[in-house]
Amino acid sequence: MQFIDLAAQYQHLKARIDKRIQNVLNHGQYIMGPEVQELEDKLAGYVGVKHAITCANGTDALTLAMMVLDIKEGDAVFCPTFTFFATAETIAFQKATPVFVDSDEATFNICPIDLEKRIRQTIAEGKLNPTAIVAVDLFGLPAHYSELERIAEKYNLKLIEDAAQGFGGSITNQQGSKRFAGSFGDIATTSFFPAKPLGCYGDGGAVFTNNDEYAELLKSLRAHGKGSDKYDNVRIGMNSRLDTIQAAILLEKLAEFPQELINRNKAAKNYENTLSSQYKTPQVPEGYISSWAQYTLVSDKRDAEMKKYKEQGIPTMIYYATCMHQQSVFEILNYTEGSFPVAEKLARSVFSLPMHPYLEQTKSRNISQVAVS
Ligand SMILES: *Cc1c(COP(=O)(O)O)cnc(C)c1O
């Protein structure tokens, strides 16, 4: 059994994907070929934003977003401590200072109450200039954006949505209006790393925004800061484009994505039905839909649990065993153990079960019977 079965997905989409790749080999426009623009239009349509700008990976997408927002040395950028490294890495890469925030125990996402506390602390200390918040849609569940947007506005901060794991998730508010992951905040990013909900066959990423100026800047920044043409360079940028072949693959995967999202939610429901008596299963707030990048359980007997699954041939993984404030590279920021009680507890007790759109119902039912009590 696979933790994420990319081969099963390929078998399902093989004829369509092979044809798309062959088309690229036939026309030969490997860099910025027509598939890239076609994909950007379809991504923007799916997410419901004006602009989708593809790039080389999800880490570059965050860096490009931060370049657009002019995040720099002396800035404080708030982000969850319980996340994948790139969220914090890209803040430090801009020479800004990441200010870590504890997690919400029910959703695993950034805790708005702790966020506001740490914004006030940073303002009171007066050493750094509070500039932005990076919220992460951890394991596929959108963060608490109504609260985060309120806080961003109150303290005049920019809001970046790191939707690397969240693509496909959504929030429907009480008025019935639905917004998809990638449409929150001032600018949003995603990753097409193969294991993400929408993945390609290599590295890829995208930035989403409704802001026309940001979109123009992003197109320049991803191509060496180009001006009116390729050899007119008006700013310092990066070389961060999505390969045409990856765009071609993603076009077929995106067409299938709505059905895959249904399948993921069915698999999650199946886990929920059979595991909730033995574990604290993931909570999805009212109106939210998760893209289930991971199906994550919490247990204070994690090692024993994982061993038991392994004996049954069921792979499990830990996302994440180390918080950002516990990473050796961030020792310099002088956080102490115990300063993020929820996140530290999660890092000690979470583990994830196999999750992908081709996880047959019968298999997820068998898994649930393995659970140790
Ligand atoms: C995967 C991931 C990234 C980085 O994406 P890459 O395409 O691997 O560079 C950033 N943030 C989060 C939360 C991720 O899970």
The predicted structure's pLDDT at residue 373:
41
Instruction: Using alpha carbons, select from 56, 362, 368, 14 the residue that is nearest to residue 204.
Output: 56
- Kindly give the number of the ligand 1 atom that is closest to the alpha carbon of 90: 10
Q: Which of 4, 66, 81, 162 to mutate to test the pocket of ligand 1 (most atoms within 8 A of CB)?
A: 162
Q: Which of 4, 103, 193 to mutate to test the pocket of ligand 1 (most atoms within 8 A of CB)?
A: 193
Instruction: Using alpha carbons, select from 317, 368, 278, 297 the residue that is nearest to residue 2.
Output: 317
| Ligand 1 midpoint to CA 263 (Å) | 23
Task: Compute CA 115 distance to the chain's CA centroid, rounded to the nearest angstrom.
Answer: 19
| Ligand 1 midpoint to CA 318 (Å) | 16
CA distances from 43 to 14, 239, 248 (A): 21, 21, 13
| Ligand 1 midpoint to CA 58 (Å) | 5
- How many CA within 13 A on the CB side of residue 298? 15
Instruction: Using alpha carbons, select from 241, 203, 238 the residue that is nearest to residue 53.
Output: 241
| Ligand 1 midpoint to CA 210 (Å) | 22
**Residue of minimum CA distance from atom 2 in ligand 1:** 164
Q: For strand 158-162 and strand 187-191, is the pairing parallel, antiparallel, or unpaired? A: parallel
The predicted structure's pLDDT at residue 225:
96
Q: For strand 51-55 and strand 170-172, is the pairing parallel, antiparallel, or unpaired? A: unpaired
The predicted structure's pLDDT at residue 365:
57
The predicted structure's pLDDT at residue 230:
79
- Kindly give the number of the ligand 1 atom that is closest to the alpha carbon of 196: 1
**Residue of minimum CA distance from atom 6 in ligand 1:** 58
Token representation of residue 78: 């708030």
The predicted structure's pLDDT at residue 370:
57
| Ligand 1 midpoint to CA 362 (Å) | 31
| Ligand 1 midpoint to CA 191 (Å) | 6
| Ligand 1 midpoint to CA 176 (Å) | 30
**Residue of minimum CA distance from atom 10 in ligand 1:** 86
| Ligand 1 midpoint to CA 309 (Å) | 27
Euclidean distance between CA atoms 55 and 20, whole angstroms: 20
| Ligand 1 midpoint to CA 255 (Å) | 22
- Kindly give the number of the ligand 1 atom that is closest to the alpha carbon of 204: 7
**Residue of minimum CA distance from atom 5 in ligand 1:** 58
| Ligand 1 midpoint to CA 87 (Å) | 7
Q: Mind listing the domains of the chain with CATH numbers? A: 6-253 (3.40.640.10), 257-372 (3.90.1150.10)
Euclidean distance between CA atoms 119 and 153, whole angstroms: 12
3-state helix, strand, coil in the chain (%, to 5): 45, 15, 40
Give the 3-state secondary structure of 17-82: HHHHHHHHHHHCCCECCHHHHHHHHHHHHHHCCCEEEEECCHHHHHHHHHHHCCCCCCEEEEEECC
Q: Which residues of the chain have pLDDT under 70?
A: 361-373
Token representation of residue 42: 């379809």
**Residue of minimum CA distance from atom 14 in ligand 1:** 164
Cβ < 6 A, ligand 1 pocket: 57-59, 83-84, 86-87, 136, 162, 164-165, 191, 193, 203, 205
- Kindly give the number of the ligand 1 atom that is closest to the alpha carbon of 138: 13
